């Protein structure tokens, strides 16, 4: 390409680059906005899941409370408190003794 | 023509200059009215509810936590059918419909609360009706999943989410989350435009509190205490289980318990944590410290004999007697004084010590001062100032005329159990911030002071073990297979209104530790005003036994005593055989402490005088380096000693 021809298209190229940069900036700004909405939605979801986890751990704690487990063991499984002679203590290889 | 153009150009230029100046003024110089207008148009504020931290036990089981709840409000002005909505809400929320209808018809008001703290399910159901004029506000709700478990220790929060009692109050600052408000730019539809997403996820939630409590041990303690309250028709019962070595509180209970989810329904008197707030006369459990003090001052040995005056002794112008009027002891050794709980024997040891030294011993063991446990409202107890009249001195020697809290008693018995160090009991193991990048604050029991040398503490443990042997007052505290050390207490209740004692009202207690030779748990049980029996040996000692039995099995501590109860197919009732076996086991325990005498003792932390007293008969020549307390010895503690040898003591200042 001859030098004179290059000089002819340079103003157009400059305008093109300027316009493309402007468009790029606008697109970037729009992408930031779009991601902002996405983060907002995800953070709401995150808080909701955290709350759900808390609710479920509370539910678990309620279900495994010692008095409930004991009541279940006594009434449904017909278990009783251990008495002397019913427990065998295992301590190493030398001692095995019911108490 | 040219001049007209120039004039026009100048006019435009002037106009633009005015506009630019105006714009510059608006941008550069502050104007509150415009700034607020801008904020209203382009900014929105988001309020984020932070969570109050959870309280968990030593294994991470939740004892208290905050969950989201939804409070329902109404705007009566926009409600179309207040009559129908009132009926529907009343039926669904189990509220009086008439009252709701009347409030919903009040068109003058724009905001009324319908019901606070509904569940998510209830909120979704009400939302699904599609009624106008109803709305929800998210509010955290404090939930105690175990109801009444550990109730007086945990405390509770008020409707505004602030701790009002117990740990909820003591650690309110750490537990409390903060309401976070974020100002964000908004779009044309009012939606926030996020610059940084972390502003929504990084919320200053409150820290979690990890306790030293084990919720299963707590449950067992409360169950056993409830059993004794029920069986003896007692007013209340108190119990504490403490790790003997680390001084961590494993369980702490005041019966009856309070359902924390309904705490406002209980009177204040039931919500009080009596383990730390109430001081009462301890009774004979105090004798252990009188004897320990006399032992420390080298005034007595376990075999020293005292004449116990046939059960009646005159002190000044008053008579003191044994607790049981059938007891007419003549001469008892110190071990027997403790085992049979002789008031006169204890009083005579108290006289040997004298008022000033006994006062110092009591102060050393922590009586008359707060233990420093992390609970609000801790009492100091009552210690009369010196001088003490002889009668008061004798009374204090057997646990009257002095008031202690159960927590002080446990800390003091803990010092005997752990080898002589008084430590601050520990209830909170760690404060764990909600965010991982923040530092976890962990706590450990602080050593307050050395109150007994290791060998004096070992001697006390042996004597307290004898106090649970057959015919001794603590016989009911024994556990098949294990040595138990402890002391019963029976104290008359003080009449705080009229003065003196309340007739036929007692506090029965037992303080001790298990296993006796290498203590793992210190346990204290007190039963307030039992009606069917009142001696500590009858009321509190059996509860101690049950709790201790559960603890040693749970901890997997192997039994050391072989009795007929431990053996399969052995006929029960072989009294002779059992006695022989137990006597042999006691001999074993004594032998093990005699073997300790053949090894070089542990002198760490002792002053030069205390250390020299210990090695006086074992050392040929003692070389002392430095000053302060012993930090190193040659030979090392536990080294075998055959005859006398040269000893080097290295001392350093404690700080």
User: Is residue B579's pLDDT more than 50?
Assistant: yes
Chain B partners within 8 Å of A89 (Cβ): 481, 553, 556, 558-559
Residue pair B413/B512 in contact (Cβ under 8 Å)? The answer is yes
Question: Smallest CA–CA separation between B68 and chain A, in Å?
Answer: 7
Q: What is the ipTM metric for this complex?
A: 0.71
What pLDDT shows up at residue B48? 65
Which letter does DSSP use for residue B479 in this model?
A: B
Pick from A22, A98, A20: which is nearest to B562 by CA?
Answer: A98
Could you tell me which CATH number the domain at B47-75+111-211 has?
A: 3.90.1310.10
What is residue B82's three-state secondary structure? helix
Residue pair B30/A29 in contact (Cβ under 8 Å)? The answer is no
Give the class (CATH, top level) of B598-652.
alpha beta
Residue pair B52/B164 in contact (Cβ under 8 Å)? The answer is no
The count of CB pairs under 8 A between chains A and B is 89
Q: For chain B, give the mean pLDDT.
A: 85
CA distance readout (Å), B480 to A92, B61, B626: 20, 32, 49
What's the distance, CA A21 to chain centroid? 38
Give the class (CATH, top level) of B216-558+573-596.
alpha beta
Residue pair B325/B345 in contact (Cβ under 8 Å)? The answer is no
Digit-coded pLDDT (tens) for B5-14: 889 999 999 9
Bigger pLDDT: A22 vs B640: A22
Q: Do A65 and B120 touch (CB under 8 A)?
A: no
Q: 């680390």: which residue's tokens?
A: B246
CA distance readout (Å), B500 to B184, B234, B386, B495, B526: 69, 21, 21, 6, 21
Digit-coded pLDDT (tens) for B117-139: 888 888 989 989 888 888 888 87
Chain A partners within 8 Å of B46 (Cβ): none
Dig out the tokens for B252 from the structure: 């702490």
Q: Among B50, B53, B59, B62, which would you mutate to test the A interface (most chain A Cβ atoms within 10 Å of its Cβ)? A: B62
Digit-coded pLDDT (tens) for B335-345: 999 999 899 99
Number of neighbouring beta carbons within 10 Å of residue B552:
22
What pLDDT shows up at residue B523? 96
Q: Which of A47, A85, A91 sits opposite B558 (nearest CB)?
A: A91
Sign of the C-alpha dihedral computed for residues B99, B104, B105 and B108 taken in this order? positive
Digit-coded pLDDT (tens) for B147-200: 889 999 999 888 777 888 899 999 998 898 766 777 777 777 776 666 665 666
What are the residue ranges in chain A where pLDDT is below 50? 92-99
What pLDDT shows up at residue A80? 84
What is residue B587's three-state secondary structure? helix
Question: Smallest CA–CA separation between B216 and chain A, in Å?
Answer: 7
What pLDDT shows up at residue B604? 78
Chain A partners within 8 Å of B149 (Cβ): 65-67
Sign of the C-alpha dihedral computed for residues B19, B22, B27 and B31 taken in this order? negative
Q: Do A98 and B566 touch (CB under 8 A)?
A: yes
Name every residue in A having a CB less than 8 A away from some CB of B.
33, 36-37, 39-40, 42-43, 46-47, 51, 54-55, 57-58, 61-62, 64-67, 70, 84-85, 87, 89, 91, 95, 97-99
What pLDDT shows up at residue B460? 93
* DSSP codes of every residue in B291-358: HHHHHHTTS--TT-EEE-GGGEEEETTEEEE-SSTT----EEEHHHHHHTT-HHHHHHHHHHH-HHHH
Q: In terms of C-beta density within 10 A (0-12 exposed, 13-18 middle, 19 or more buried), how is residue A51 classed?
A: middle
Q: Among A29, A35, A46, A47, which would you mutate to test the B interface (most chain B Cβ atoms within 10 Å of its Cβ)? A: A47
Digit-coded pLDDT (tens) for B458-517: 999 999 998 988 888 888 998 888 899 999 999 888 887 887 888 888 999 999 998 998
What pLDDT shows up at residue B319? 86
What pLDDT shows up at residue A96? 45
SS (H, E, C) B112-125: EEEEEEECHHHHHH
Digit-coded pLDDT (tens) for A44-64: 888 888 888 888 888 898 899
Dig out the tokens for B471 from the structure: 């015919």
pLDDT band at B218 (very low <50, low <70, confident <90, very high): very high
What's the distance, CA B160 to chain centroid? 25
What pLDDT shows up at residue B137? 82
């Amino acid at each position: 390409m001859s030098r004179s021809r290059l000089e002819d298209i340079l103003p157009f190229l400059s305008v093109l680059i300027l316009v493309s940069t402007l468009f790029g900036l606008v697109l970037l700004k729009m992408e930031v906005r779009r991601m902002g909405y996405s983060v907002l939605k995800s953070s709401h979801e995150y808080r909701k899941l955290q709350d759900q986890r808390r609710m479920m751990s509370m539910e678990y704690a309620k279900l495994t409370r010692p008095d409930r487990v004991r009541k279940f063991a006594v009434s449904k499984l017909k278990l009783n408190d251990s008495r002397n002679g019913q427990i065998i203590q295992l301590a190493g290889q030398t001692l095995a003794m019911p108490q | 023509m040219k001049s007209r153009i120039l004039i026009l150009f100048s006019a435009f230029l002037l106009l633009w200059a005015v506009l630019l100046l105006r714009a510059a003024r608006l941008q550069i110089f502050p104007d509150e009215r415009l700034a607020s207008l801008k904020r209203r148009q382009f900014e929105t504020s988001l309020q984020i509810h932070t969570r109050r931290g959870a309280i968990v036990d030593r294994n991470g089981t939740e004892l208290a936590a905050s969950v989201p709840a939804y409070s329902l409000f109404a705007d009566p002005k926009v409600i179309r059918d207040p009559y129908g909505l009132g009926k529907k809400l009343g039926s669904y929320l189990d509220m009086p419909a008439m009252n709701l209808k009347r409030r919903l018809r009040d068109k003058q008001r724009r905001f009324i609360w319908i019901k606070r703290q509904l569940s998510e399910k209830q909120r979704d159901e009400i939302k699904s009706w599609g009624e106008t004029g109803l709305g929800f506000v998210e509010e955290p709700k404090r939930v105690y999943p175990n109801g009444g478990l550990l109730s007086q220790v945990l405390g509770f929060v008020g409707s505004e989410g602030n701790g009002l009692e117990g740990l909820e109050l003591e650690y309110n600052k750490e537990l409390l989350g903060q309401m976070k408000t974020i100002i964000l730019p908004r779009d044309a539809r009012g939606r926030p435009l996020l610059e940084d997403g972390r502003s929504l996820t990084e919320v200053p939630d409150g820290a979690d509190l990890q306790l030293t409590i084990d919720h299963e041990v707590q449950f067992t303690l409360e169950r056993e205490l409830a059993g004794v309250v029920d069986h003896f028709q007692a007013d209340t019962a108190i119990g504490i289980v403490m790790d003997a070595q680390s001084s961590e509180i494993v369980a702490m209970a005041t019966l009856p318990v309070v359902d924390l989810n309904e705490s406002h329904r209980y009177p204040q008197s039931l919500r009080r944590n009596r383990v730390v707030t109430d001081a009462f006369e301890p009774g004979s459990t105090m004798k252990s410290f009188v004897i320990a003090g006399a032992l420390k001052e080298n005034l007595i040995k376990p075999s020293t004999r005292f004449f116990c005056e046939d059960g009646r002794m005159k002190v000044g112008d008053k008579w003191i007697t044994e607790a049981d009027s059938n007891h007419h002891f003549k001469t008892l050794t110190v071990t027997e004084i403790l085992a049979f709980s002789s008031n006169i024997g204890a009083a005579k040891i108290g006289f040997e010590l004298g008022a000033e030294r006994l006062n110092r011993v009591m102060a050393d063991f922590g009586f008359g001062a707060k233990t420093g446990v992390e609970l609000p409202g801790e009492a100091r107890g009552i210690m009369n100032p010196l001088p003490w009249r002889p009668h008061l001195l004798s009374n204090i020697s057997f646990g009257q005329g002095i008031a202690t809290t159960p927590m002080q008693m446990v800390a003091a018995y803990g010092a005997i159990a752990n080898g002589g160090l008084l430590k601050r009991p520990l209830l909170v193991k760690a404060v764990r911030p909600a965010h991982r990048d923040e530092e976890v604050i962990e706590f450990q029991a602080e050593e307050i002071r050395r109150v007994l040398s290791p060998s004096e503490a070992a001697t006390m443990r042996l004597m307290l073990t004898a106090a649970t042997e057959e015919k001794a007052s603590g016989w009911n505290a024994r556990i098949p297979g294990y040595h138990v050390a402890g002391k019963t207490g029976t104290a008359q209740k003080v009449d705080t209104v009229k003065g003196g004692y309340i007739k036929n009202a007692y506090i029965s207690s037992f303080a001790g530790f298990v296993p006796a030779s290498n203590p793992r748990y210190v346990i204290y049980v007190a039963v307030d005003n039992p009606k069917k029996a009142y001696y500590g040996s009858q009321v509190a000692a059996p509860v101690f036994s049950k709790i201790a039995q559960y603890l040693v099995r749970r901890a997997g501590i192997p039994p050391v005593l072989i009795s007929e109860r431990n053996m399969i197919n052995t006929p029960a009732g072989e009294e002779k055989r059992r006695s022989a076996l137990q006597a042999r086991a006691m001999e074993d325990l004594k032998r093990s402490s005699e073997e300790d005498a053949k090894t070089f003792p542990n002198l760490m932390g002792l002053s030069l005088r205390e250390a020299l007293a210990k090695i006086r008969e074992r050392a040929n020549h003692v070389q002392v380096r430095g000053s302060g307390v012993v930090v190193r010895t040659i030979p090392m503690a536990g080294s075998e000693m055959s005859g006398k040898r040269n000893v080097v003591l290295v001392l350093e200042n404690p700080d």
